[in-house]
């Protein structure tokens, strides 16, 4: 074959081979960088899961009457451990599963914040009630007797709060109303506040007429009470404490929707209020709600 034909062909072949080699190494470098990036993102996600697991392990739940909250929190703890173990054995190149685990992390974190907030709210309410009972005992007992009663009262309170709350309250909703009974967000126009909630189904609870007591605590920690001090007390933990609203219901063991109203009789201040519910002499629920200016 003529050299004039062969030489151009060889030049073209060499150039093509060179281009292929260049593309091969360029793609290999790009793949290496992508894998390294995936490994880095997986490592960061593992760190986030480990941090969340440490938060769960470090959170000490108080003694609560609502055992379902602590049980749900324990379930989420186990869920984090399981997802972390799955993440550790998942290959970094499995981008789809890594993305799913990242979404799972965000979901679990939101659930944890919700449960911890509810548990802390109940715990703060129990601490406040304990302080009120201590003041009552100090008025009627000598120093030594007071110390003994305080120890016994704390023991009784822990035991009762653990076992006495049979009914549960859910679907709590607050609706501020103006003088025309229309919904308003202006705190200066609020004439009445409507509280809607559901008392859950419970076939083991005694049936019949029951009094539902609500205590509304202002942002400054003061209790909102009725004008007449003689008619605003109810029995709780071997003493009598004040309430803000009372309603009698007929409970038949099935889920029951209840509405209670509080007529505004004082100046309202913006901030976070707290609504504590008592049924059958036990604290059954505590919900924070916010009134904005």
Q: Are residues 25 and 98 in the same domain?
A: yes
| Displacement of CA 253 from its chain's centroid (Å) | 27
Strands 282-291 and 223-224: unpaired
Q: Are residues 219 and 156 in the same domain?
A: no
Q: Are residues 33 and 87 in the same domain?
A: yes
Q: Are residues 287 and 175 in the same domain?
A: yes
CATH number at residue 285: 2.60.40.10
| CB 45 within 8 Å of CB 100 | no
- C-alpha 176/C-alpha 172 separation (Å) is 14
Q: In a structure prediction context, what are the per-residue pLDDT tens digits for the chain, which is 293 residues long?
A: 566 666 666 666 766 676 566 565 556 555 555 555 566 666 676 677 677 667 666 665 555 455 666 677 777 777 767 766 776 667 656 667 777 777 777 777 767 767 667 777 777 777 777 776 777 666 656 556 765 776 776 666 555 444 544 689 999 999 999 999 999 999 999 999 999 999 998 888 888 999 999 999 999 999 988 766 667 899 998 889 999 999 999 999 899 999 999 998 888 889 999 999 999 888 999 999 999 87
Range of the domain at 129: 124-162
- Residue that finishes a domain, picked among 118, 146, 181: 118
Q: Could you tell me the pTM of the whole model?
A: 0.45
Query: What DSSP string runs through 66-97?
Result: -HHHHHHHHHHHHHHHHHHHHHHHS-TT-HHH
Q: Are residues 170 and 287 in the same domain?
A: yes
Residue entry with tokens 């799955």: 86
- C-alpha 290/C-alpha 174 separation (Å) is 9
User: How many Å is the maximal CA-CA distance in the chain?
Assistant: 124
- Residue that finishes a domain, picked among 88, 103, 118: 118
Nearest to 284 by CA among 192, 249, 221, 59: 249
- Residue that finishes a domain, picked among 85, 118, 151: 118
Total domain count, the chain: 3
Q: Are residues 231 and 179 in the same domain?
A: yes
Q: Are residues 97 and 137 in the same domain?
A: no
Q: Are residues 139 and 53 in the same domain?
A: no
CB atoms within 10 A of CB 248: 8
Q: Are residues 175 and 286 in the same domain?
A: yes
Q: Are residues 147 and 255 in the same domain?
A: no
| Cα pseudo-dihedral 119, 124, 130, 133, rounded to 10 | -120
């Amino acid at each position: 074959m003529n050299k004039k034909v062969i030489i151009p062909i060889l030049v073209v072949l060499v150039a093509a081979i060179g281009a292929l080699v260049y593309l091969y190494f360029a793609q290999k470098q790009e793949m290496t960088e992508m894998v390294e990036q995936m490994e880095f993102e997986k490592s960061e996600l593992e760190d986030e899961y480990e941090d969340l697991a440490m938060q769960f392990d470090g959170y000490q739940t108080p003694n609560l009457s609502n055992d379902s909250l602590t049980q749900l929190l324990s379930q989420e703890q186990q869920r984090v451990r399981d997802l972390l173990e799955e993440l550790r054995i998942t290959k970094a190149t499995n981008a789809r599963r890594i993305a799913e685990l990242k979404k799972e992390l965000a979901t679990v974190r939101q659930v944890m914040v919700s449960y911890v907030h509810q548990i802390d709210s109940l715990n703060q309410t129990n601490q406040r009630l304990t302080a009120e009972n201590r003041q009552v005992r100090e008025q009627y007992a000598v120093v030594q007797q007071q110390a003994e009663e305080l120890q016994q009262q704390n023991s009784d309170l822990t035991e009762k709060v653990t076992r006495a709350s049979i009914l549960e309250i859910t679907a709590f909703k607050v609706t501020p109303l103006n003088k025309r009974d229309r919904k308003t967000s202006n705190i200066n126009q609020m004439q009445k506040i409507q509280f809607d909630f559901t008392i859950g189904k419970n076939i083991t609870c005694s049936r019949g007429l029951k009094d539902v007591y609500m205590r509304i605590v202002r942002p400054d920690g003061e209790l909102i009470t009725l004008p007449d001090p003689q008619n605003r007390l109810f029995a709780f933990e071997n003493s009598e404490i004040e309430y803000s609203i009372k309603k009698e219901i007929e409970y038949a063991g099935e889920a029951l929707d209840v509405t209670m109203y509080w007529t505004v009789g004082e100046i309202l201040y913006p901030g976070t209020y707290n609504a504590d519910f008592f049924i059958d002499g036990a604290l059954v629920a505590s919900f924070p709600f916010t009134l904005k200016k």
